[in-house]
Amino acid sequence: MAFASPTSFDLAAFLTNSGLGRRIVEFKPKEAFFSQGDPADSVYYIQKGRAKITVVSTAGKEATVTLLAPHDFVGEEALASIPGLRLSSATAITACAALKIAREEMIRVMHGEQEFSDLFVKFLLARSMRVQADLVDQLFNSSEKRLARILLLMAEFGEPGEPETLIPKISQETLAEMIGTTRSRVSFFMNRFRKLGFVEYNGRIRVHKSLLQVILHDRMPDDHAFKPRVANAPRTRSTSVKARRIGQ
């Protein structure tokens, strides 16, 4: 007697289509996937668009923790042994489409499908490494260097494939929150980056590969780095007289 072989699991189809315990949801810019304090009952897989994770302190101050891109999961706290409340908010920056996976379905497929489980574990490890890198960045790097790193990450330099040099529209306030400085400092750094040819922006920011210089080297070029310095220039009479008076 012949037995039918079990249906093979199609990871791409699972993450692309609606089905039992999962459905595709769409969000407009600034619309929330979920808010801090909501029940943690599902996990989202971002299919397209960009989003951000934010937290609000008891004093009401909001901070942006990280940015999200296509193929990221968000809301993984729903998988805790005792589901609780959301510890943060996830909000669309651009128009987004995401697969909303119910907690029970997420647990089932993780236990039953090794291919999916491997993908999710790799994502969690990458997220953990990113959080550690962010912490080191905050502790040891200047705010200018932190801004350069965030822009490069948003442009996906270092990721497989061609980088997206034109990053999603993001406010200077959000960038300031992410690197722990003020909006005025971000504005100052962005103007420097633009003058040095590292970025262009007119509504949206275009990142050039040359911005990697800020990450690879300890300091930025001087504002007058491209102006030749005249060596052994003769001193004027007034300068020489002043120097003699100081020597007296």
pLDDT in tens, 16-37: 999 999 999 999 999 999 999 9
Nearest residue to 84 (alpha-carbon basis) of 75, 71, 73: 75
**pLDDT number for residue 6:** 58
Q: What is the mean pLDDT of the chain?
A: 84
Q: For the domain 141-229, what is the CATH code?
A: 1.10.10.10
pLDDT digits (tens, 9 = 90+) for 158-170: 566 666 678 888 8
Taking residues 141-147, report their average pLDDT: 90
Cα–Cα distance, 155 to 159 (Å, whole number): 9
Domain 12-137 = CATH 2.60.120.10: yes
**In this predicted model, which residue has the larger pLDDT, 214 or 238?**
214
C-beta separation of 46 from 96 below 8 A:
yes
pLDDT digits (tens, 9 = 90+) for 64-95: 888 899 999 999 999 998 889 999 999 999 99
pLDDT at 213 over 60: yes
pLDDT at 123 over 70: yes
**pLDDT number for residue 76:** 94
Which residues lie closer than 8 Å to 206 by C-beta, 6 or more apart? 165, 166, 167, 199, 200
Which residues lie closer than 8 Å to 205 by C-beta, 6 or more apart? 151, 166, 167, 170, 190, 199
Tell me the DSSP string of 64-127.
Answer: EEEEE-TT-EE-GGGGSSS--B-SSEEEESS-EEEEEEEHHHHHHHHHH-HHHHHHHHHHHHHH
Please state, for a pLDDT cut of 90, what percent of the chain lies above it.
52
**pLDDT number for residue 63:** 86
Domain boundaries, the chain: 12-137, 141-229
**Residue for token digits 């969000």?**
27
